[in-house]
Amino acid sequence: MVALAGLDLRVPAGQTFGLLGPNGAGKTTLVKLLLAIAFPTSGRAKVLDRPPGNVRAKARIGYLPENHRYPPHLTGEQVLHHFGRLSGLAREERSRRVTTLLRRVRMEEWSGVRVHKYSKGMMQRLGMAQAILNEPELLILDEPTDGVDPIGRREIRDLLLEQRERGATIFLNSHLLSEVERLCDRVAILKDGVLRREGRVEDLTRAKSAFQIEVRSASPGVLEAVAARVPGLTVAENPGPGGLPGGAGPGATSFRGTWLELSGDVPALNGAIDALRRQGVEIASIQPRRDSLEDVFVRVLEEGEPQ
Amino acid sequence: MKVAAILLDTGRELLYRKTIIVYFGVVTLVLLFFVLALQTDVANGVIASLTVAGLEGSASQGGFRLGDGAEGPGMGGLTAEMFVRYVQLGMAFFLYPLAILMSVFATASLVPRMLEKGTIDLMLSKPITRPALFLSRYAGGALTAALNLLYLTLGLAVILAWKTGVWNGGFVLSGLVMSFFFACLLAFTVLAGVLLRSTTVSIMITAVLFVASLLVRMPHSNRDWPLLITSRASRFLAQAVVETLYYALPRSYELVQSTVALIRHEGSVEWGAIFGSAASGALALALAVVYFSRKDY
């Protein structure tokens, strides 16, 4: 069975990169190849300009595996010290970071309790602390919010934003598309071990040749009349918050019924604008129509949308 | 620091499993028994009187026995040196097998647990090479077992020296030989662990190999036995199996003989068995490391 095939991917330093795909798509396999936890049958990879498994490169990487387990005989604090030692952190520096991180992930009160008593959410919080303990240049996270409640998810998201601010490159493997959309600069979609789409979130979610036109001051029936004459132009009956780029924004509902959608290219857009203006319709804004990442993801997986 | 971290964690894990604690408790009880219950009166290197938990010792054929003193006073000229060797041989007979057994039970899970999903991923992501990770884990197990054996031998040697004035360093050395023997056996345990990822199967394989290493010594040392097999091919095959097992496995019998020789100060350590066992253990460990280093997890 081939887990990954013909994959060609580059993640620039300092970016937050999301890897998407259904179960069995090869996401975890890719992460394991990057960390030399598994080896490719052919092909090559470089992580931080070194081959996977290079000890010096690993010292600059933080990793949170899916369903991670910590030695059950250790307390949360001991876990962090153990992995800090393995990462080569000196004692004083390690102690300082362990104390800070335990506070940061709100695990101070549980730091002296053995980890086998921790809930799933607590394990994830401790896992995040473990992953960023060495202040990594590259942070690889496999389903970091798996089993975490909404508040915990937000905390982890904040933590990731802090890491991004710090300049870390983040490689995020997640099923939660909304989370990926919020956090990531770029995403790749894998299916059956093959890369189906890759690019900036902004580009991927921009619908091809489709625009949303916000209008004001239209007389009754004018919009419908223009729409009947211009090919691809329709009056959006209820664009709603999801239909607007980046969310509806304040006051969006007051524009209900004054949005037009155009399926067409730029010349078609100009034709539509001319037609509207000739009828005295005031145009408030024009924006390329955006899909949610979930729309893109589903379309790529179910319809096999080409790259 | 990274190797030390794994050694430390391995020690903690073994203590957490309680098996080592039970062994430690048994040995502590034995040591306390000798501290509190053994009373000796030694004059000019000879045991003049002896009581153990209120029972008086008396001379017996080839040694001594404990009773109510009805056999008559005196220890029949039993020297303190001989007394110490008898006691240490007896303790070695009972406690060495217990130590090996407990150590095998405690350490057999070291590799399978490390290979569990979610644990191995994290360990391999850290800046430590696979051979260093594996060997540190192995060393942690061997070191913990050695410390336990050292606790027994050194503790008992010191207590008996205090009670009789006789120091038998051979007993401490015999503990080191047993630690070495366990380290050789552990190499096979970790090899089974990395190949099969099962604690139970690792224990079973270690036990089978231990018994096999004892059994093959007899046909190996008796050159006439193949004559009992009439078929030439069967004879060749049987000899090949025996000799392969003998040289591939630790020389358990000879190592046990060496511990007896060290305690009794009679004969010498069988260096051939030491080197042969070291070679077989090193080979098993090397195979385990190579497999671990190339395996996808």
Instruction: Nearest by CB to A85, from B2, B16, B124: name it.
Output: B2
DSSP label at B79? B
Task: Check CB contact of A119 with chain B, cutoff 8 Å.
Answer: no
Which residue of B lies nearest to A141 if distances are taken between CA atoms?
B122
Let me know how many helices (H) and strands (E) chain B has, helices first.
12, 4
Higher pLDDT, B51 or B157: B157
Q: What is the pLDDT of residues B255-279, one digit of tens each?
A: 999 999 999 998 788 999 999 999 9
Q: What is residue A169's predicted lDDT score, i.e. its pLDDT?
A: 97
Of the candidates B187, B185, B244, which has an alpha carbon nearest to the alpha carbon of residue B209?
A: B185
Closest CA to B209 of B187, B225, B194, B226: B187
Residue A272 CB coordination number (10 Å)? 24
Q: Does A3 touch chain B (CB under 8 A)?
A: no
| A259/A167 same-domain check | no
In a domain, A30, yes or no: yes
pLDDT at B173 over 70: yes
> Is residue B18 less than 8 Å (CB to CB) from chain A?
no
By the 8 A CB rule, do B211 and B242 touch? Answer: no
Q: A35: which 2 tokens?
A: 């960390």
Give B47-75 pLDDT, tens digit per residue: 888 888 888 877 776 667 777 655 555 66
A72 vs chain B: nearest CA distance in angstroms?
8
Q: Are residues A103 and A241 in the same domain?
A: no
Tell me which residue in B16, B125, B294 faces A37 most closely, judged by beta carbons: B125
Q: How far is A214 from chain B (nearest CA, A)?
A: 51
Is residue A7 one of the residues assigned to a domain? no
Give Cβ neighbours of residue A107 (< 8 Å, ≥ 6 apart). A76, A122, A125, A126, A129
Q: Which of chain B's residues have a Cβ under 8 Å away from the Cβ of A61?
A: 125
Mark yes or no for CB contact A86/B126 under 8 Å: yes
Residue-level pLDDT at B192: 97
Torsion, Cα A283 A288 A292 A293, to 10 degrees, reads -160
Q: Which of A146, A162, A192 is the last residue of a domain?
A: A192
For residue A245, the model assigns a pLDDT of: 44
Residues 13-32 of A with CB under 8 A from B: 32
pLDDT per position as a tens digit, A155-187:
899 999 999 999 999 999 988 888 898 899 999
Whether A303 is in a domain gets the answer no
SS3 content of chain B, % helix, strand, coil (to 5): 70, 10, 20
Percent of chain A with pLDDT over 90: 57
Q: How far apart are CA B14 and CA B21, in angstroms?
A: 9
What pLDDT score was predicted for residue A204? 87
Going from the C-alpha of A234 to that of each of A44, A213, A274, the distances in angstroms are 50, 10, 15
Tokens 């460990």 found at: B285
Q: Which two tokens stand for residue B158?
A: 């010191």
Indicate whether A88 and A33 sit together in one domain. Answer: yes
Q: Are residues A188 and A213 in the same domain?
A: no
Number of structural domains chain A divides into: 2
- Segment A12-33 shows an average pLDDT of 93
B12 CB within 8 Å of a chain A CB: yes
What is the average pLDDT score of chain A? 87
pLDDT single digits (tens) A126-141: 999 999 999 999 999 9
Residues A63-96: pLDDT tens digits?
Answer: 999 889 999 999 999 999 999 999 999 999 999 9
**A40 has a pLDDT exceeding 60:** yes
Residue A292 predicted with pLDDT over 90? no
Least CB–CB distance from B16: residue in A69, A70, A73: A73
**Do A30 and A89 have their domain in common?**
yes
A273, part of any domain: yes
Q: For residue B254, what are its two tokens?
A: 């000879």
Contact B16 A65 (CB under 8 A): no
Measured CA to CA, the distance from residue A305 to residue A196 in angstroms comes to: 8
Q: Which of A141, A161, A192 is the last residue of a domain?
A: A192
Query: Residue B70: its pLDDT value, please?
Result: 56
Same-domain status, A86 and A127? yes
Are A188 and A210 in the same domain? no
User: Smallest CA–CA separation between B12 and chain A, in Å?
Assistant: 7
Contacting residues for A43 by C-beta, under 8 A, at least 6 apart: A7
Task: Please tell me the distance from the alpha carbon of residue A134 to that of residue A156, in angstroms, as a whole number.
Answer: 17
pLDDT of residue B71: 56
Mutate to test the interface with A, among B113, B126, B137 (most CBs of A within 10 A): B126
Q: Tell me which chain B residues have a C-beta less than 8 angstroms from the C-beta of A137.
A: none
Q: A304 in a domain, yes or no?
A: no
Q: Decide which of A159, A192, A225 is a domain's last residue.
A: A192
Lowest mean pLDDT among A212-226, B7-21, B87-101: A212-226
Residue A23: predicted pLDDT: 87
Q: How far is B272 from A135, CA to CA, in rounded Å?
A: 52
Report if residue A272 sits inside a domain. yes
Distance from CA of A215 to the nearest CA of B (A): 55
Q: What is the CATH number of the domain that holds A278?
A: 3.30.70
Q: Are A103 and A95 in contact (CB under 8 A)?
A: no
What ipTM, to 2 d.p.? 0.81
- Residue with tokens 């086998």, as numbered in its chain: A116
Mutate to test the interface with B, among A39, A55, A85, A114 (most CBs of B within 10 A): A85
- Cβ-based contacts of B13 with chain A (< 8 Å): 71, 73
Instruction: Tell me what the pLDDT averaged over chain B comes to.
Output: 90
Which residue would you say has higher pLDDT here, B233 or A136?
Answer: A136
CA distance B139 to chain A (A): 16
Is the per-residue pLDDT at A279 higher than 80? Answer: yes
Chain B residues whose CB is inside 8 A of the A37 CB are 120-121, 124-125, 296-297
Q: Do A36 and B119 touch (CB under 8 A)?
A: no
Sheet holding B38-43, edge to edge: B38-43, B46-52, B55-60, B63-67
Q: Is the pLDDT of residue B31 over 60?
A: yes
Is residue B203 predicted with pLDDT exceeding 90?
A: yes
One domain for residues A107 and A159: yes
Q: Do A172 and A49 have their domain in common?
A: yes
By CA distance, what is B1's nearest residue in A? A85
pLDDT greater at residue B69 or residue B129? B129
Interchain pair B12, A55: CB under 8 A: no
Q: Pick the range with the lowest mean pLDDT from A53-62, A259-268, B28-37.
A: A259-268
Q: Is residue A114 situated within a structural domain?
A: yes
Instruction: Decide if A82 and B119 are in contact by the 8 Å CB cutoff.
Output: no
Give residue B278's pLDDT.
Answer: 97
Residues A167, A142 share a domain: yes
A240 and A147 assigned to the same domain: no
- The CATH number given to whatever domain includes residue A114 is 3.40.50.300
pLDDT of residue B229: 78
The pLDDT-based confidence of A259 (bands split at 50, 70, 90) is confident
Least confident range of A36-45, B202-211, B222-231 = B222-231
Model pLDDT, residue A246: 40
Contact B240, B274 (CB under 8 A): no
**Sequential DSSP letters for B158-200:** HHHHHHHS---HHHHHHHHHHHHHHHHHHHHHHHHHHHH--HH
Average pLDDT over residues B89-106: 90
pTM of the model: 0.83
Measure the CA–CA gap between A184 and A164, rounded to whole angstroms: 10
Q: Which domain holds residue A246?
A: 206-297
Comparison of pLDDT for A118 and B63, the residue scoring more: A118
- Let me know whether A215 and A182 are in one domain: no
* Cβ-defined contact of A71 to B9 (cutoff 8 Å): yes
* In-domain check, residue A9: no
